[in-house]
């Protein structure tokens, strides 16, 4: 293990100039994860009931603080997914060095471990930077945490690189570097993981329904558990829809497509339909949550503005709603960044084939159109299902509140997310011109 760490450090120090953008993205992801973790520890370390002059009293009670802590912890999920995307594109971009290590006798598992540790160094720099910025913020605010909070801070700073390394190793489990300068991917058992996700969601729904049927257990907890299970079930269904639609469209369009861009995109989707599902998983789950949140927000505000709620209490409720909305927007933005990185990783992986197509006379606009279609085609039905799932969630909440108000604004959320996804995929087009340069043919 010490030799792997030493090799990873040498490779990190000797990174090429073209790799610094990947290192910067990894550092940014670690900085965000550290910030979310430190904020969660700071809020959790506040003892008992206190009067905090922020957020209109939302942080005064331990119960409300627990909800804020949970929101920060949940934000770590899209950040870790983003770090996994950065690890994939980094490993493929350094395939020549990986092949050299294989020639020197390294096993595929050791190569993946070295690549994961190399990403961990960038994450350590990001976590240290995040801690420094957080310490300056605490000094400006004038808040002095206790010893338990400082221990939690140290744990977060050390845990982020470790978690990022584990995520990177898992993300690289399907990448095999052959000794003769060839990188390929093995297909993971994605269908079994999808089946386990569906089974887990069904179990949560059954448990929440059983708790609702028990008179002694009625309350808010079973309803929250049921909503979480519906979100998870819909998110897994949307991921499955992305895979199924990619496979179906790939097979059908390969036989019937007349436009070259559609034919190239269909061939890619038919070859690896799970690639779209892996890239869009966090994004689809964020869409389900976003649609449900916009609907629940509308119903809740309509209820709060009704009789029985004095105006002085509105700031407390609206602050909590706005903070939850900010968390959803942050998760969506991180998921979009992951989509952009995934699109770039796909181009980097296929740069030899793309360079060969460009050398054979395929116009750049055709390759660019195929790149966008690889995102647009499977994402449309998946986002439609995600929007439907989010609609079911907020309609269920509206039925529980029973105030007769059903907002229509959430129906526009999937459309806005779809447009944002296309823009995120378009950010990889400048890389397309680089990977189709004739110099790439030297390594075919």
CB 265 within 8 A of CB 377: yes
Long-range contacts, stretch 60-65, CB < 8 angstroms, 24+ apart: 64/320
- Please count the other Cβ atoms lying within 10 Å of the Cβ belonging to residue 90: 26
Residues 6+ away with beta carbon under 8 Å from 338: 78, 81, 82, 85, 279, 282, 283
**Widest pairwise Cα distance in the chain:** 75
DSSP 13-64: HT--GGGHHHHHHHHHHHHHHHHHHHHHHHHHTS-SS---TTGGGTTSSHHH
User: Is residue 118's pLDDT more than 80?
Assistant: no
pTM of the predicted model as reported, rounded to 2 decimal places: 0.75
Q: How far apart are CA 53 and CA 60, in angstroms?
A: 9
Tally of CA atoms within 13 A in the half-sphere of 241 that contains its CB: 20
pLDDT at position 182, please?
46
Domain ranges, ordered by start, for the chain: 2-185, 190-443
Instruction: Kindly tell me if the per-residue pLDDT of 296 is higher than 80.
Output: yes
pLDDT (tens digit per residue) in 345-393: 788 778 888 888 888 888 989 999 988 988 888 888 888 888 888 888 7
51-66 average pLDDT score: 71
Question: Which among 286, 204, 175, 206 is positioned nearest to 239, based on CA atoms?
Answer: 286
Burial class of residue 47 (count of CB atoms within 10 Å of its CB; 0-12, 13-18, 19+)? exposed
Mean pLDDT check: name the lowest of 45-59, 188-202, 427-441: 188-202
Which contiguous run of DSSP H or E holds residue 105?
A: none
**Closest alpha carbon to 49 in 59, 58, 60, 41:** 60
Integer Cα distance of 195 and 193 in angstroms: 5
Average pLDDT of span 20-28 = 78
More confident residue, 440 or 255: 255
- The residues, any chain, with a CB within 8 Å of residue 221's CB and separated by 6 or more, are 211
Contacts of residues 405-413 at CB distance under 8 Å and 24 or more positions apart, as own/partner, are 405/298, 405/299, 405/302, 405/303, 406/299, 407/294, 407/295, 407/298, 407/299, 409/294, 409/295, 409/298, 410/291, 410/292, 410/294, 410/295, 410/298, 411/387, 413/287, 413/290, 413/291, 413/294, 413/387
> Taking Cα atoms as reference points, which of 215, 210, 230, 175 lies closest to residue 345?
175
- 3-state SS class at 178: strand
Rounded Cα distance between 15 and 18, Å, is 8
Which residue did the predictor score with more confidence, 204 or 161?
A: 161
Residue pLDDT, tens place only, 209-251: 676 666 555 555 666 666 666 666 766 676 777 777 788 888 8
């Amino acid at each position: 293990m010490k030799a792997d760490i030493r090799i990873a450090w040498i490779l990190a120090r000797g990174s090429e100039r073209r790799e610094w953008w990947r290192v910067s993205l990894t550092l940014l992801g670690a900085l965000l994860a550290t910030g979310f973790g430190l904020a969660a520890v700071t809020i959790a370390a506040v003892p008992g009931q206190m009067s905090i002059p922020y957020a209109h009293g939302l942080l005064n009670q331990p119960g409300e603080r627990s909800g804020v802590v949970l929101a920060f912890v949940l934000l770590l999920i899209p950040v870790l997914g983003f770090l996994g995307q950065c690890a994939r594109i980094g490993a493929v971009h350094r395939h020549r060095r990986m092949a050299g290590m294989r020639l020197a006798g390294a096993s595929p598992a050791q190569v993946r471990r070295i690549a994961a540790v190399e990403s961990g160094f960038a994450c350590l720099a990001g976590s240290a930077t995040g801690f420094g910025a957080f310490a300056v913020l605490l000094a400006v605010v004038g808040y002095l945490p206790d010893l338990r909070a400082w221990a939690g801070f140290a744990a977060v700073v050390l845990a982020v690189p470790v978690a990022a390394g584990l995520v990177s190793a898992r993300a690289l489990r399907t990448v095999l570097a052959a000794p003769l300068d060839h990188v390929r991917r093995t297909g993971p058992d994605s269908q079994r993981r999808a089946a386990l996700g569906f089974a887990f969601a069904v179990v949560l729904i059954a448990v929440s329904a059983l708790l609702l049927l028990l008179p002694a257990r009625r309350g808010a907890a079973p309803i929250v558990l049921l909503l979480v299970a519906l979100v998870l079930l819909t998110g897994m269904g949307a991921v499955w829809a992305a895979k199924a639609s990619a496979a179906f469209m790939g097979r059908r369009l390969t036989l019937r497509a007349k436009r070259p861009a559609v034919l190239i995109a269909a061939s890619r989707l038919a070859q690896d339909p799970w690639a779209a599902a892996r890239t869009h998983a966090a994004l689809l789950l964020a869409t389900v949550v976003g649609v449900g949140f916009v609907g629940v927000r509308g119903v809740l505000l309509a209820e709060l503005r009704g009789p029985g709620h004095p105006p002085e209490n509105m700031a407390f409720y609206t602050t909590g709603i706005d903070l939850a909305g900010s968390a959803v927007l942050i998760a969506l933005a991180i998921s979009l960044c992951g989509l952009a990185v995934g699109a770039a990783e796909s181009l980097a992986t296929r740069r030899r084939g793309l360079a060969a197509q460009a050398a054979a006379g395929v116009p750049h606009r055709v390759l660019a159109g195929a790149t966008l279609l690889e995102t647009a085609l499977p994402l449309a039905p998946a986002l439609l299902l995600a929007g439907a799932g989010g609609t079911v969630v907020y309609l269920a909440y509206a039925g529980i509140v029973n105030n007769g108000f059903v907002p229509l604004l959430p129906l526009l959320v999937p459309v806005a997310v779809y447009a944002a996804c296309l823009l995120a995929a378009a950010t990889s087009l400048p890389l397309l011109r680089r990977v189709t340069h004739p110099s790439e043919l030297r390594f075919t």
